[in-house]
Structure 1
């Protein structure tokens, strides 16, 4: 009994420490809440977000609680940050600004209040919603309490009369977490919430664990879907499984010339006496002003671009976008996964999976099984992408996790090479010299040998960063022998290659030589 009491006291102290990092909260009073809602109803999103941000940051540096709106506002603003109507399919600077402002406000909430304390965790859920009515009777009223009760933050479809809060909401359009293009904000919230639950020992209740709940109940094939989602590349097979959230969201903004013609053609008569306000306040009207601006991407993990479904284009618009819709040359290398920023977000999801499985194996699976799935999907990747996952400029995994993943990846590549099988958790310099550094890939070809080279380099750098290397002769000999045998393996492969295969082998040779030079530089630094 005393042990249980001590354990509970420890958890309470941990939760108190976690809470102290964030400001306390209270519901936004009815007057500013109604003002914000009215602005949203009238399409003045930037004004509404400014009022929300002002109430959030007021009183910083004092014990005073901060004001936050009901949950559906967070869900609505998250939709604005990615919806094509405000991003990829508009030239309207005001709409793009609204998307940027919404993102900044949600980032402020996550930083100042925290995912759990603010209700972001409950707001970022997939729900069935209905179209709102005109009633505002259910809006929040002024409350004196400083504690934010959960029922006060629940969804109220009547609060926001916008299709982006209902049928066009990200949370109602997408099937689940793995079906959408995710925000960096989303990863920030997932990570902070996971660590918060780690502190009080409630990992299964975390937001990420809840997203994985249905996956964890099924077999390995379902768990493999996680990797297919993380590595989705916009090909037909990927799009078939992870379909568009909004129809035609890959299309760019409409042609300004045709836009003006269509606007004149569709312009409605303004008759104030009879309550006909024409196009004023109509969110679904044509795609606005031809004013140009740079489009800033707010997400890039699962797919490299976004698409729209809320509006139906006229035939003339489709013709004007014909150049956009023509298939281009297939992207290669890192560009196939959306470039370096996209890869960074993908590795963050991998790191979250590793962290979750290390903290609570029963929630999904243990780390060994997780790395087995990683190996299945990472090993066949094109060399340029493979290199980014196994030997990135900055490691996204902790040393133990990276070491375990590299060991798992080495097994199929070194099979048949004569390398001793190493099946322990800790890799020391002696193990590195005997089991990994001196060997070439078991199969022939430059690509596999280049992959072995970058993995040996990654393991060498890992040992160096963690003070596990001593500059001795045996280390240099092992590294130099491995470089030589891999060169010989490629040189004596004997297969004649042409076209793409020849280019692939040429690239592999350059990667292998660059990796060899970097490893020798590390050895020179040691001596």
Structure 2
């Protein structure tokens, strides 16, 4: 029966229900090591789950797999992990042990015993990928893997194809584990009367979560900044130096076996036997545009007798046109590093989605455990520090609530507000309101431009205002007023004038309107359009 077939899924049941069945499709080595998953009355052991996650990204089962069975190991491991996640909670699977970077194997090679373990929990895995070559042994910590995965998203698409599968699974598991622990925490902390005393807050429930375990896995100085650098790894030199490849020779692709060399043929010049040299010369001449047929057409004397081959072009005498074309292409490649085009263009929307999901997890931990991790204010300051210098497409994707709605609306509004305070002009006033509302938007943000008189900065401010306007409107916190109308129009004209001045200053360097200018114009038009919608709605309600 297929692992992914509906009948097999129906036969599987959560702990306490129907017993697990052992799949029949698994390769021998995989069956030998993780077949225990589905034996009666047993749950997966942590070392087997760690092995399955290693199969997802290990080069020998992905990009350097030599056989179909080795490739199937990664696919079947993903099926097993997804099936396990749909049936058993992360706590019941003991994922905190499976995804631990502590050495679970003693120096003698025997598995360390854990309290209350099953009879097979002390049995070591007879695979190198279950020991020293395991994903959880090769990486320094979780953020090392995250940083390398995002570096691959920019520089190594073949490896990113595998790492994003692992990253998607890990984000799903982390989110499920955190949500489960929050529910347990809220159930325990329900307000009850207990002799006038308030029940102690059991924060250990949240501290035992996987995401908090990964956060505290490295307690060195600058831990929090390193986490953010991993999330925003962009393939730059500094990022590659900090988050290197996890596995040995990970970027080395599997080479095709060399074809056996043909046995050389004899050469006899007197009898016009040149072996394979003649065919090689003819090939070279065709590449240089000097074939024997061309020599026939240009020389009538060659119609009789033997044909004389033309002289091959020397390597140092290529045509000037070809040299210019090649030189211009090489200059473009050297002048434009791969990561300089921005995260959105180089790594795709999937990469930005994973980055934002990890940001949302950190935001949840900061909200619940500010003393153990860091406060919301400090965390969002780090977010601003890494999001502000992004290219305009990546910036727009990260701050737009419609493109990647993977974090809560309050968190998205806080992020946009923090960025607006950081990017707006210094003459803009402040507000005593702690929460974002329409009055704060009209008074502090809408009528003003960016602090830097550049098209990029003003386009980013306009996109932030558009996102903030959308968030407040979705929450029913926007109503049409004359003050709102004036603030929107004044801000659109102010940012447009500053960008126009920047466009005129850089007129000699731009042969056409840059993308930043077009983005600013489109964003301003959308703000005015939103305003007109609320104006029409207000007039319709007043007439009714």
Calculate the TM-score normalised by the size of structure 2. 0.67
Match among 507, 513, 517 for residue 521 of structure 2: 513
1:312-351 to 2 correspondence within 5 Å? 330-331=338-339, 332-335=341-344, 338-351=347-360
Q: Distance in 2 between matches of 1:27 and 1:161?
A: 30
Report the CA distance between 1:438 and its aligned residue: 1.5
Paired residue for 1:492? 501
| Segments of 4+ moved more than 4 angstroms | 25-29, 47-53, 129-135, 326-329, 502-505
- Alignment check: 8 A CA contact 1:193 1:207 kept: yes
Deviations 1:209-262 (A, max 9, x none): 1111255x555x33111111001112221111011101332344x24343x769
Paired residue for 2:117? 151
Structure number with larger C-alpha Rg: 2
Q: Distance in 1 between matches of 2:255 and 2:512?
A: 39
Gaps of 5+ in 2: 1-12, 150-165, 186-204, 262-332, 537-544
Paired residue for 1:211? 214
Q: Distance in 2 between matches of 1:242 and 1:139?
A: 30
Match among 389, 393, 412 for residue 422 of structure 2: 412
Deviations 1:275-305 (A, max 9, x none): xxxxxxxxxxxxxxxxxxxxxxxxxxxxxxx
Match among 60, 64, 80 for residue 89 of structure 1: 64
Match among 380, 386, 391 for residue 382 of structure 1: 391
Match among 160, 164, 169 for residue 125 of structure 2: 160
Q: Distance in 2 between matches of 1:424 and 1:261?
A: 77
Deviations 1:308-360 (A, max 9, x none): xxxxxxxxxxxxxxxxxx99951413356621111111100000000011011
Choose between structure 1 and 2 for higher RCO, CA contacts under 8 A separated by at least 6 residues: 1
- Alignment check: 8 A CA contact 2:344 2:393 kept: no
Report the CA distance between 1:75 and its aligned residue: 0.4
Change (3 A) 1:204 1:154: farther
Q: Distance in 2 between matches of 1:341 and 1:109?
A: 24
Within the alignment, does 1:352 sit opposite 2:361 as a pair?
yes
Paired residue for 1:448? 457
- Alignment check: 8 A CA contact 1:126 1:171 kept: yes
Q: Distance in 2 between matches of 1:349 and 1:428?
A: 27
Deviations 1:162-213 (A, max 9, x none): 1111121000000001101352111111111112222233211211111112
- Alignment size in residue pairs: 410
Gaps of 5+ in 1: 1-21, 57-64, 141-147, 263-325
Calculate the TM-score normalised by the size of structure 1. 0.69
Q: Distance in 1 between matches of 2:121 and 2:515?
A: 54
Paired residue for 2:99? 124
Match among 430, 434, 449 for residue 421 of structure 1: 430
Match among 107, 117, 125 for residue 82 of structure 2: 107
Within the alignment, does 1:178 sit opposite 2:143 as a pair?
yes
Q: Distance in 2 between matches of 1:358 and 1:503?
A: 48
Q: Distance in 2 between matches of 1:27 and 1:132?
A: 39
